[in-house]
Amino acid sequence: MLSGAGWGGNRETPRACARPLRACARSRDAPWFIQLKWHRPASAGCFRFGDARRRGLRQERIARQAEARATVLERGGVPLGFNSMEQFRGFGWETRSALARSGNADADVYLRGSAVTGYSYRTGEAFDVGRRSDYDFAIVSSRLLNKAREFGVRLSRKGDRTFRALSDKDLMALELSGAMAEIRARSRQESSIMIYRDSAAVEHRGPNIRLP
């Protein structure tokens, strides 16, 4: 949590709170940007452009996203959802061991998504705000990617990654069901996996943290 600038419990206006948090995040990660996608649950109602309530929620979202991203950076790259680098290292070892037992000792593993950026790309919501966020894992293995292609798993236009997260059917075909079950048991049931050809393909998609 940022000292003196945290969002939780702050009684300032959303704009006043968002400004220093955004500056703090960008001072540590210049390419970082705010994600303002809007999804409208039934309880939210409709917002008109310029609506005061929407403007307030916009600043609140900026503040929460900035605080989450700055927190990751301040903790030395420990993703959100992990309490310490020691816990993260232990999880990294367990994940690599699970992949090795499934015959994928060559695979490298990265964590992407809201645990790293601080917000969901799909909704713009900050990590673990109003819901339990998932973990997005990137498995780097050209061999596994070729195997996925052979089984008919859809790849990206460039062919450097799977098009979307692997389904249960895909996991079974690639003999990753057991490893995925272990990963979910040690992290979050909502966790998902995509396969990448190399680390450059992971970097191309944005912020990530390699599992130690």
Q: Mean pLDDT of residues grouped by 10 in the chain (212 residues)? A: 44 55 56 46 40 58 68 77 91 95 96 80 66 86 97 96 96 96 86 95 89 92
Given CA atoms 176, 182, 185, 188 in this order, what sign does their dihedral have?
Answer: negative
Q: Is there a contact between 57 and 45 (Cβ–Cβ < 8 Å)? A: no
CA gap 210, 183 in Å, rounded: 15
Say which amino acid occupies 108.
D
Pair 80, 67: CB distance under 8 Å: no
Rounded CA gap, 171 and 112, in Å?
Answer: 19
Q: Do strands 136-140 and 192-196 pair parallel, antiparallel, or not at all (unpaired)?
A: parallel
Distance CA 136, CA 211 (A): 12
pLDDT of residue 202: 94
Q: What is the pLDDT of residue 137?
A: 95
pLDDT of residue 206: 82
**In this predicted structure, what is the pLDDT of residue 4?**
40
